[in-house]
């Protein structure tokens, strides 16, 4: 349900970083690792499923919006995520 604006003390500009600011050229990452990096979290850090889902809610639209900057590599197995890196 929407909340009145005055209930919030801290309103910030909505900005996303460019892929080159988040990822290193020589590596490929899973979408889960990219989601962590976007939030400034170590890509190897373990997270609970609920927190990871929230991070993915931010990462997936960002990746779609910047799709021209990415390449894709197939996963090692069908039940594993694929890998993404800079074009």
Q: With contact defined as beta carbons under 8 Å apart, do 86 and 25 qualify? A: yes
Residue 10, pLDDT score: 92
Instruction: In whole angstroms, give the CA distance from residue 2 to residue 24.
Output: 38
For the entire predicted model, the pTM comes to 0.84
Taking 50 as the pLDDT cut, the residues of the chain under it are: none
pLDDT of residue 60: 96
Q: Check residue 14 and give its pLDDT.
A: 76
pLDDT attached to residue 31? 96
């Amino acid at each position: 349900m929407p909340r009145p604006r005055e209930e919030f003390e801290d309103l910030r500009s909505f900005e996303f970083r460019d892929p080159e600011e988040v990822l290193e050229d020589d590596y490929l990452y899973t979408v889960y690792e990219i989601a962590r990096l976007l939030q400034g979290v170590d890509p190897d850090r373990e997270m609970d499923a609920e927190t990871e889902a929230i991070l993915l809610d931010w990462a997936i639209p960002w990746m779609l919006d910047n799709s021209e900057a990415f390449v894709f590599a197939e996963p090692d197995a069908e039940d594993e995520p694929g890998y993404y890196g800079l074009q």
